[in-house]
Amino acid sequence: MIKFFRNIRKSLLKEDKTSKYLKYAIGEIVLVVIGILIALQVNNWNNERQLNKEGQNLLTNIQKDLLTDINRASEILDFYLVKDSLSKMVLTDQFIHQNYRKFISGEQGTYFAYWYDDFILNEQSYQKFKDALKDLDHQFDVLQEPLDELHITLGNNIKVYNQRIRTTVYQNIDYLATNKSWYYQWSSNYDEAVEVNDMYAFFLNDPIYKNQVARYTNDYLNLYRDAQTYRIKAIELYITIAEFLNKPVPDNELLKLKVSNKGGLAHYLGEYQSSHESNNSKLHNVTIKSEDGYLVMKDINNKSKILYRHSDSLFFMFKANEIVKFHLNNDTKKTTFTIITKEKRIPFNKVKP
């Protein structure tokens, strides 16, 4: 009997020892698995960190391209204002013989409607970001829509207008080269004192030239309009990306859509009146106010239009596609402005600060 219990005890001790080794082995396996999982997670974190860094670098490059595009769009506005003034002179018969003799060609002369300023967008960094987006963290997805709006929606329109104005310019030049014997003299401008009666007659009186200018102006207005829309959207997106990257927006004049000089608001704010005979009746009286840092124009029906800053004297009305040009005076009571539309220019005088 004693021997029987001793055998049972030995058996139990043997099982306890086996169980101990088994538990130890299982523990080792668990530790190895946990180590592998941790290593995989660390690797995932490292990959995610690398992808986030790559996404941030792509966005920084997009900002650089946006700034270049914004600057170009601003130049388009400046060029347009010069061309708009000259085209109105031509179409209203104000470009006279003396003007012609002074400026046979060049930006200020008859040549203005025979060259173009197109708006070529920087798309390389945008395309790289779009190609990489599927591998980036989902937080970057929020920027896809505004980028697509710039480069696809607006970008495609701008490409159409670029091509349109090139076609118009070259067709107009081809007409001169084919039909005017003096074309080589005019185009080379080798002798500004040249007297060719047919040349004078064409630029001063010929309806074909006026039609060319009208066609050119219409094309340029389309390009200018979408260039300014792009500029505003690009500035807003630049600021959005800066906030996304948690970086400050640089103090750059190109990025300012609001009035920069708060102390000078008195130059702009007040009630204005226009007696322009062709003016829309609801715009005879308007008020310029400041809201959230923007200048805002309100008509008699209290409808508001935001004035987006181009410079301290030039502003763009986004939806109306009109320019507001302020004529600032040392005496803030004498400030005036002009609304420049496709058809006309409407002057306003301040009547109440």
Q: How confident is the model at residue 14 (pLDDT cuts 50, 70, 90)?
A: low
User: What does DSSP assign to residue 151?
Assistant: I
Q: How confident is the model at residue 301 (pLDDT cuts 50, 70, 90)?
A: confident
Distance CA 304, CA 300 (A): 10
- Residue 210 clears pLDDT 80, i.e. is over it: yes
Distance CA 109, CA 112 (A): 6
- Residue 142 clears pLDDT 60, i.e. is over it: yes
Domain ranges of the chain: 48-255, 262-352
Distance CA 257, CA 179 (A): 47
Range with the poorest average pLDDT among 105-109, 123-127, 154-158, 283-287: 105-109
Q: What is the pLDDT of residue 81?
A: 86
Between the ranges 67-71, 115-119, 129-133, where is the mean pLDDT highest? 67-71
Give the pLDDT confidence of 224-254 residue by residue, as tens digits: 899 999 999 999 999 999 998 899 999 999 9
- Residue 315 clears pLDDT 90, i.e. is over it: yes
> What is the percentage of the chain residues whose pLDDT exceeds 70?
77
Q: Which fold is adopted by the domain 262-352?
A: Lipocalin (2.40.128)
Q: What is the pLDDT of residue 84?
A: 86
Give the pLDDT confidence of 164-179 residue by residue, as tens digits: 999 999 999 999 999 9
| Helix H or strand E segment including 285 | strand 285-291
Higher pLDDT, 197 or 262: 197
Distance CA 299, CA 322 (A): 15
Mean pLDDT of the chain: 82
- Residue 302 clears pLDDT 70, i.e. is over it: yes
Q: What is the pLDDT of residue 321?
A: 79
Instruction: Collect all residues with Cβ–Cβ distance below 8 Å to 113 and sequence separation of at least 6.
Output: 83, 86, 87, 90, 169, 172, 212, 213, 216, 217
Q: Residues 218, 220, 222, 224: what is their CA dihedral angle, to the nearest 10 degrees?
A: -140
Q: What is the pLDDT of residue 48?
A: 46
Give the pLDDT confidence of 248-289 residue by residue, as tens digits: 999 999 999 998 766 678 889 999 998 766 555 556 789 999
- Residue 161 clears pLDDT 90, i.e. is over it: yes
Q: How confident is the model at residue 35 (pLDDT cuts 50, 70, 90)?
A: low
